[in-house]
Amino acid sequence: MESLLSETIRWQEIAKELLEESTLLSFLKERGEVYFTGSYRYGLLMSADIDIYVLHPQAGKEQTLSMLMALIDQGYWNVYFYGDWVNFRADDMPLGHYIGLKRDFSGARWKVDIWNVPKVESSYLEYNEWIERSLTSEKREIILAIKKANIENKWNLSSVTVYNAVLAGKVNNIEEFRNQFVNNKENN
């Protein structure tokens, strides 16, 4: 049986292969600074999902739609999404315009979330730094185990919920996580 660390390394390698084959990074770098976030950034990838910010001072609807049309014309991805989280604000979403891409690759259905924003908010930069500073080998193993259980059991809880629970010391294993966050969803 594959270890959790080996599994996340395998996911990271496949993600890098996808980014290389699709030429997505060079495409995005022509349009702004690329800033990875989420599981890919932290080395905690356990599913086919990559989160990227494209930072550009003029990030807006027009630039995002231009990027989206160019990606469609490129013909690599087979599903495309657009979201406006500037005019339709949501507290749990970055303030920006969103492009979602999907494609089957290496046996999985990959999703790439791209946020076109002028900058990464300082609170989010601090959050990323906190995660990276707080990750120990032990905490990494616990997070990976919970993320795997989350996927396998279809708990549908966000990775952020897992990171916060483990890194803030609220849980130390899958059972504690299940008791606090799955069995008591209405209390969270």
Q: pLDDT confidence of 8, banded at 50, 70, 90?
A: very high
Q: pLDDT confidence of 1, banded at 50, 70, 90?
A: low
| 3-class SS letters over 60-126 | CHHHHHHHHHHHHHHCCCCEEEEEECCCCCCCCCCCCEEEEEEEEECCEEEEEEEEEECCCCHHHHH
User: What are the pLDDT digits (tens) for 171-181?
Assistant: 999 999 999 99
Q: According to the model, what pLDDT value does residue 108 have?
A: 98
Q: pTM of the entire structure?
A: 0.92
Pairing between β-strand 33-37 and β-strand 108-117 as defined by DSSP bridges: unpaired
Which residues span the domain enclosing 139?
135-187
Is pLDDT at 20 greater than 80 in this prediction?
yes
Which of the listed residues 90, 119, 148 is the one where a domain comes to its end?
119
Which CATH number goes with the domain that contains 81? Answer: 3.30.460.10
User: What are the pLDDT digits (tens) for 153-167?
Assistant: 999 999 999 999 999
Q: Within a domain: residue 8?
A: yes
Is residue 139 domain-shared with residue 115, that is, in the same domain? no
Is pLDDT at 187 greater than 80 in this prediction?
no
Is pLDDT at 66 greater than 60 in this prediction?
yes
Q: pLDDT confidence of 38, banded at 50, 70, 90?
A: very high
Report the number of distinct structural domains present in the chain: 2
In terms of Cα–Cα distance, which of 132, 137, 127, 154 is closest to 47? 154
User: What are the pLDDT digits (tens) for 124-143?
Assistant: 999 999 999 999 999 999 99
Which of the listed residues 119, 145, 166 is the one where a domain comes to its end?
119
Q: According to the model, what pLDDT value does residue 185 have?
A: 65
Is pLDDT at 37 greater than 70 in this prediction?
yes
Is residue 25 domain-shared with residue 69, that is, in the same domain? yes
